[in-house]
């Protein structure tokens, strides 16, 4: 499932076509995705200007001049694809409608934004902008990793006394928003912390180091356009290339890249999810 860097990459790709533009016509081709789509969704989007395009955790939020906000969650295979507009060096002509084109936004000026989702694990909803923070999917989320509220004192308090593995703690969206399996693995590798360590057992220097490392890993991934493993594509259709820079994720059996380390990357299953780490230099 796309994590913060992938969602932020899609948001940035949509910005020049969506923010400040008017949706000339919204086309909704089915009544539901993962959950039912909102009532009269096409009518509520058609003719509306997008005043701002934001991201919260793994969700894209498009504020409309109607006082509502469109929430988009990509799910496992959802893609927001742009056609009929120049995005950097990329231009795609409009294609014939595809089987899984569930929501299509025809923009004034001729651009088209298509939400294509083969597995239909994605989601869309409309909510009052001034009450967006109370939405079921957004309420209770922790601070954004790049925000001022995510800092060493905050993380120290949230991890103190926790008897869950540090990997599970960092995946908890109530502690920090947007992290997923890939970037937690890369973060813990750089921090030289085992994913099996209990969160409450980390030293103060270790907790303090996590904050800048998390930000560095996410920033590098955004710069690379996210990570394409299966279905993810940028809004331009281009792949994300951070996967070429994985130091530990999905590298089971490879030699550890830490200078001087003779260890081998190991895969361990935690709560049904794969953890990739070096048992020799992550303690």
Please classify residue 183 by burial: count the beta carbons closer than 10 Å to its beta carbon, then call 0-12 exposed, 13-18 middle and 19+ buried: buried
Helical residues (DSSP H) of the chain, grouped into ranges: 4-18, 41-45, 152-159, 166-171, 181-191, 204-223
Catalytic site residue 273? yes
Catalytic option among 152, 273, 279, 280: 273
3-state secondary structure of 229: coil
Catalytic option among 2, 5, 143, 195: 2
Catalytic option among 48, 56, 58, 158: 58
Distance of CA 150 to the CA centre of its chain: 17
Taking the C-alpha atoms of 62, 172, 174 and 247 in order, what is their torsion angle to the nearest 10 degrees? -60
Q: Are 67 and 89 in contact (CB under 8 A)?
A: no
Catalytic site residue 131? no
Catalytic site residue 68? no
Catalytic site residue 27? no
Phi/psi at 65 (5° precision): -75, 0
3-state secondary structure of 12: helix
Q: Considering Cα of 112, then 12, then 9, then 151, what sign does the dihedral take?
A: negative
Residues carrying an active site annotation: 2-3, 58, 273
């Amino acid at each position: 499932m796309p994590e913060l860097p992938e969602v932020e990459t899609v948001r940035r790709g949509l910005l020049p076509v969506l923010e400040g533009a008017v949706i000339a016509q919204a086309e909704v081709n089915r009544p539901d995705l993962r959950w039912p789509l909102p009532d009269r969704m096409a009518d509520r989007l058609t003719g509306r200007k997008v005043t701002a395009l934001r991201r919260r955790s793994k969700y894209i939020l498009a504020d409309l001049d109607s006082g509502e906000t469109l929430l988009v969650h990509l799910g496992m295979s959802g893609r927001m694809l742009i056609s009929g507009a120049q995005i950097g060096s990329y231009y795609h002509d409009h294609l014939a409608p595809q089987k899984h084109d569930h929501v299509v936004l025809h923009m004034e000026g001729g651009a088209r934004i298509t939400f294509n989702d083969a597995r239909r694990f994605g989601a869309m909803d409309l909510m009052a902008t001034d009450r967006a923070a109370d939405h079921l999917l957004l309420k209770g989320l922790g601070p954004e990793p790049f925000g001022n509220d995510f800092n060493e004192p905050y993380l120290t308090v949230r991890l103190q006394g926790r008897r869950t593995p540090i990997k599970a703690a960092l995946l908890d969206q109530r502690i920090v928003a947007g992290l997923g399996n890939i970037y937690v693995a890369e973060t813990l590798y750089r921090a030289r912390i085992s994913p099996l360590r209990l969160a409450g057992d980390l030293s103060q220097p270790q907790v303090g180091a996590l904050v800048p490392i998390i930000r560095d890993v996410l920033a590098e991934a955004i710069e690379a356009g996210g990570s394409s493993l299966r279905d993810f594509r940028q809004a331009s259709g281009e792949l994300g290339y951070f996967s070429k820079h994985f130091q530990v994720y999905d590298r089971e059996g490879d030699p550890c890249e830490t200078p001087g380390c003779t260890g081998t990357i190991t895969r361990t299953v935690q709560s049904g999810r794969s953890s990739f780490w070096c048992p020799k230099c992550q303690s």
